[in-house]
A and B are shown apart, each in its own frame.
Chain A
């Protein structure tokens, strides 16, 4: 940490904490939105050699602007290789060549299963969401998964309305039983805290608190009785360098590549 404290928002803390989960040299499968911001922030701070894979078929993208979609031309222009979509999923994701899958969703449950399909009943949904996209196989096949999501009791639920992507199913042993090869969601980053699976039961436990968030608030922002680890870490606030890099990245979105209709 350098210099005086710089003000930051909860979203900033979420993005920075998620970016810190990525290590230099790792290969990361990136979803659009917050995960893409966090992954690109990591590239601009502590992980310049992070390899970004987008499901549109860009391997090793090094975007200078934050993309609005997973198929922005910038991602192709700056990639090591542009490949077909079947190739991304079959040759690169499925055999386990990707270290980290970086995912969001509408709901996450106590066993880190993700819902991005419907709120309510599938046949007569209250809210029809976009759907699973690439996430089911990203969650299954990456060596590990990082989930990042703003935390509310509506988003963090006892049981998701629909399992779009499997975290730990109904608990310990389910991933092995299902033949899922990756280790699953090892980290869930929110604007309140970080949760990690209990090594015995795979139930998510609060292991670290975001700066300025009380333990009571973080527990109350989960829709189930969130367990708390014996030792709770206090996350280091985003430092000046991280926030400067994040602001610079966000500024690139204000100057989009498109033209008005």
Chain B
């Protein structure tokens, strides 16, 4: 059953050094505030998983929290590169970053296998690409029924998955809508799951395309209005495109980045999120 708590308490309880964590979100509903809390609590040696690592992963990498990243597309959507990610891969700053690189289809299937309690997933993918030679977690498997050779990728089962949603009720049942990406699979694949929400409501009212995660499938829920900023929560906020554009300059320079983290993450409190 879910514990409804504060973000700081939830992160302290759920995330330990060395954990494999997934903060999922596909442009929409990215759990940015939770990422900042992980930086504030100085977690180290994390393996971070995400299909589309964007600026919150750039911040985690630059802040030295991350030993390894498992991903399929790491960029600043609509803007360009992630400079902290690039600096870590190209120059080992602030520490070397191990990478495990996949395609979107592969990552989506890895989460789905994890959520299904299966050891691996099967797909038509990767054939002929150089990813096969560089990523140990891509293999081939022969269909026992047709003899066709297909691609196999292992399940992802994060220690902790973190997502952001629009609403929870007081019992900790969660509802999200709009583009919900791979978040349901990420939560169900994880050993522990934290959901930050825009609003706690008395009753969840069904919505078209709404995805409900029952409280018994979650570990912790925290009320964090604006917790997806600069990403957005449909029905609550719009995407702050200016922030994404500004990040390009801030993140290019190591000193400027460190100053930004000190001011906007370390000096800020979890309670100040969204203000």
Q: Which residues of A contact B (CB under 8 A)?
A: 32-33, 55-58, 67-73, 75-76, 82, 84-86, 88-90, 93-94, 117, 122, 124-137, 140-141, 162-166, 169, 174-175, 178-181, 256-261
A130:B81 contact, CB within 8 angstroms: yes
Q: Chain B contact residues: over half helix, strand or loop, or mixed?
A: loop
* Bound Cα distance from A124 to B103, whole angstroms: 20
* Bound Cα distance from A164 to B130, whole angstroms: 6
A69:B27 contact, CB within 8 angstroms: yes
* Interface residue B267 (Cβ < 8 Å from any Cβ of A): no
B-side contacts of A132, CB under 8 Å: 72-73, 101, 103-104, 129, 131
Instruction: Decide: A261 near B240, CB < 8 A? Known: A32-B78, A55-B104, A57-B180.
Output: yes
A131:B240 contact, CB within 8 angstroms: no
A89:B129 contact, CB within 8 angstroms: no
* Bound Cα distance from A127 to B90, whole angstroms: 7
* Interface residue B18 (Cβ < 8 Å from any Cβ of A): no
A68:B78 contact, CB within 8 angstroms: yes
Q: Chain A contact residues: over half helix, strand or loop, or mixed?
A: loop
A261:B239 contact, CB within 8 angstroms: no
B103:A130 contact, CB within 8 angstroms: no
Closest chain A residue, CB of each to CB of B247:
A261
Query: Which residue from B71, B78, B182, B244 sits with its C-beta under 8 Å from A131?
Result: B71
* Bound Cα distance from A1 to B263, whole angstroms: 56
CB contacts under 8 Å to A, within B148-200, are 148-149, 178-182, 184-185
A-side contacts of B230, CB under 8 Å: 258, 261
* CB of A109 to closest CB in B, whole Å: 12
Question: 10 tightest A-B contacts by CB?
Answer: A71-B27, A130-B75, A133-B73, A68-B78, A258-B241, A69-B77, A166-B128, A89-B105, A134-B104, A86-B108
A-side contacts of B256, CB under 8 Å: none
A71:B74 contact, CB within 8 angstroms: no
A69:B239 contact, CB within 8 angstroms: yes
